[in-house]
Amino acid sequence: MPEMKYKRVLLKISGEALAGELHRGLDFEIVNSVCRVIKECVDRGVQMGLVIGGGNFWRGVKDGADKMQRSHGDAMGMLATVMNAIAVADALGKQGLDARVLSAVEMNKFCEYFTRDLADRYLNEGKVVIFAAGTGNPYFSTDTGAVLRGVEIEADAILMAKNVDGIYSADPNTDPTAVKFDTLTYDEVLARHLKATDTTAMTLAMDNHMTLVCFALKDPENILRVISGETIGTIVKED
């Protein structure tokens, strides 16, 4: 088997991507297909950390806007990520993997409380670690939570698996002239206000020299392709 380019990764999956055509809730055909690829990566010796968004159940900014206090809406979003984490951990278990959910907010009935050292120990033991509840604070997106956890576990790269196959000059769904980038620097993303992640996440990645790879989850095998070093999506890194 070819050697994997990345030995330890933080994979961020959008909640909407796991909902599929349903757009809400979970499409377990998609969930199981993603988990099968994650198992293949683990079987090849890759240490896998996951962050899963909660937008398939609730997006604090979008769903709660002008209807409720922002911190309360974001708290609901954190709980949505916990639901997704528990579901994916269960699906990974059915694939024969030991998956542990570590939450930024204490809820001992459902998952363990996150510490960096515990996460590192589980990863070294070959367990898949799913980081839930974002950063544990309102006003921070799950993209920021993913970069934070990736930096903390000293991942080789952060993989952003979304509904779009990379970073574009404009929204490709509304602008037919939008151009896809193969590589970008952090400064270019920030200066052009490109929709890769929120600015907090991108700045955190830049400050910590963390490579980001943005690609589409439509074909879950893309996860393995990226980890093995194929050029897919858009890579954001230093010059």
pTM of the predicted structure, to 2 decimals = 0.94
Quote the CA–CA distance of 39 and 42 in Å, as a whole number: 5
Quote the CA–CA distance of 141 and 227 in Å, as a whole number: 24
**Range with the lowest mean pLDDT among 22-31, 47-56, 116-125?**
22-31
Q: Taking the domains of the chain in order of start, what are their residue ranges?
A: 8-237
Q: Which CATH architecture best describes the domain 8-237?
A: 3-Layer(aba) Sandwich (3.40)
pLDDT confidence tier of residue 226, bands split at 50, 70 and 90: very high
Tens digits of per-residue pLDDT, 116-165?
Answer: 999 999 999 999 999 999 999 999 999 999 999 999 999 999 999 988 88
Tens digits of per-residue pLDDT, 163-199?
Answer: 888 999 988 888 989 999 999 999 999 999 898 788 9
Cβ neighbours around 176 below 10 Å, total: 7
67: exposed, middle or buried (C-beta count within 10 Å: 0-12, 13-18, 19+)? exposed
**Range with the lowest mean pLDDT among 35-44, 78-87, 184-193?**
184-193
